[in-house]
Chains A and B, each alone.
Chain A
Amino acid sequence: MVKAVLSVIGCDRVGIIAAVSSYFAKVNVNILDISQTTMDDIFTMVMLVDVGAATVGFSELAAYFKELGAEMGLQMQLQHVDIFNSMHKI
């Protein structure tokens, strides 16, 4: 299992989760958890996924969401989970 976090930051709108999850299904990425919050009036959604069995490489996944984010007027970023673990967990 290779865990990664997809973060979506920006203004809330219809279809964010639909767009994201349909792509994940297409490339065989399992969604493990979803959470969302509003910080400083900015909508933030984070999705924990398993990219271990993905049919495409990590850099391709990351590039896809960067593009999708730009299209939807949101900031989307896929990052390996260890960056958050190392910063917030001892």
Chain B
Amino acid sequence: MFISADEIAQTIRMIQKEHLDIRTVTMGISLLDCAADDINVKCQKIYDKITTRAGKLVKTACGIENEYGIPIVNKRISVTPIGLIANTDVDGCVKIAETLEKAANAVGVNFIGGFSALVHKGYTQSEKTLIESIPYALHATTKVCSSVNVGTTKAGINMDAVRDMGILIKKAAELSADTGGSDCARLVVFANAPEDNPFMAGAFHGVGEPECVINVGVSGPGVVKCAIETVKDYDFTVLAETIKKTAFKITRMGQLVAKEASERLGVPFGIVDLSLAPTPAVGDSVARILEGMGLEHCGGPGTTAALALLNDAVKKGGVMASSHVGGLSGAFIPVSEDEGMIEAVRNGALCIEKLEAMTCVCSVGLDMIVVPGSTDAATISAIIADEAAIGMVNTKTTAVRIIPAPNKNVGDTVEFGGLLGSGPVMAVRQYDCSRFINRGGRIPAPLFSLKN
């Protein structure tokens, strides 16, 4: 036979028992041509453009799912950062967010990203207003995702924006206090944000992107976990090779789906994001991969090294499997969305500081961490600043998605439901940093010579 029964059985096992899936097919749509002086005209143009471009997205993705027998968990849309075209007041921005929600409902996607602003060097008036409107926009919607880029390696860190984001995250949490501050789960603060990321909540359609594009995010922590169990007694060379081969296979699925979706929709293929994205389901955890390598608990000594190996091997295996790679590409470590991470926090093995160290060697950053509602805005800003500094200095993407859950304390758990999972409240060090955060201005871009 052209392909062996064993190989066919292996693919089917990966999908059915090891949670292999395509995490998202995300259509990026440029809204740059939707600018208009009148807010109602602008909203109508945005609605029309999204529903025209993405009208067949969900149906096409479901067709591919059916034909190839591979689940495509999410169908999503990312749009041009709204800060570029808003030019309105806070109410107008909320109206745009509501329009995005309406368009998302009309085409049947589960999230729409791009209620965003890129302010790493400074605010335009439009972006300033958009950022002010974020808590209200999130509260008025359920599918709109927001992100703000506050730093880059080339521009440094906009500390005014960092300060403001701390305040706005607190505000978003207060507005959604009845659901544990869940609006914050749709808000990401980035450094070096990628323009082609298909994953939420940080997806937006960057200015260097074409009119419309298809980006695909793969997943498969369960497959990697099962693969490394077969090499328990081997050294790191074998371990890394095993992960590479597995990542190759996973990514080939993404490439196939991306190619098919692009052809069927008549939209150019952008990138495949080589990510190990966990879900709260047992058997779909990145933390369990690290433990499978030989650690008693994720978060203990050795975790950063294990994650570095994993992240690198996933990229090396995935790069050859896809013609274009981009987005966040790497292992995700969202605490509330990973069953093993949740347990590690509950057991006291994993703390925010260790997570911060882990973000130095993997994709994204402090993701889906729940902290006590009493955490002040300056402290949240300082956590963002720390993470942005790691991204800026190491020329990588970092992000913070933090939920200061109102009236919750260490030991409590906040249930978000669905893919967002449930977050145990993590302890934050209680030292005042307000004088540092309130200085304002910019942290200068780092030097890239004299490396030590």
Contacts and interface: CB of A to CB of B under 8 A. Distances in A.
- Find the residue from B8, B9, B16, B252 having the highest chain A CB count within 10 A: B8
A58 B11 contact: no
Contact of A82 (B7, B12, B63, B68): B68
Given A83-B256, A84-B7, A77 B69 contact: yes
A24 B63 CA distance: 22
Contacts of B12: 7, 9, 77
Contact of B11 (A36, A37, A39, A83): A83
B69 A33 contact: no
Contact of B252 (A75, A81, A87): A87
Given A7-B8, A9-B12, A79-B67, A86 B255 contact: yes
Interface string B1-29: 11111111111100010000000000000
Nearest to B69: A79
Contact of B68 (A36, A75, A79): A79
Contact of A5 (B6, B8, B10): B8
B274 to A, nearest CB: 15
Given A7-B12, A46-B8, A82 B3 contact: no
A73 B63 CA distance: 26
Contact of A9 (B9, B253, B255): B9
Interface of A: 5, 7, 9, 33, 35-37, 39, 44-46, 48, 58-59, 62, 75, 77-89
Given A35-B5, A44-B9, 17 more contacts: A7-B9, A7-B12, A33-B1, A37-B6, A44-B5, A44-B8, A48-B2, A59-B67, A75-B16, A79-B67, A79-B69, A83-B253, A84-B7, A85-B2, A87-B7, A87-B11, A88-B10
Nearest to B12: A7
B66 interface: yes
A84 B7 CA distance: 8
Given A44-B9, A88-B11, A35 B1 contact: yes
User: A interface, by DSSP: helix, strand, loop or mixed?
Assistant: strand
16 contacts: A44-B5, A45-B5, A46-B5, A48-B2, A80-B69, A82-B256, A85-B2, A86-B255, A86-B256, A87-B11, A87-B249, A87-B252, A88-B3, A88-B7, A88-B10, A89-B3
Contact of A85 (B3, B5, B6): B3
A4 B10 CA distance: 17
B70 interface: yes
User: B interface, by DSSP: helix, strand, loop or mixed?
Assistant: helix
- Find the residue from A46, A78, A82, A89 having the highest chain B CB count within 10 A: A46
B64 to A, nearest CB: 9
A84 B5 CA distance: 10
B229 to A, nearest CB: 14
A39 to B, nearest CB: 5
A36 to B, nearest CB: 6
- Find the residue from B5, B16, B66 having the highest chain A CB count within 10 A: B5
Nearest to B320: A90
| A-B interface, 3 closest residue pairs, ranked by CB to CB distance from nearest | A79-B69, A37-B5, A86-B256
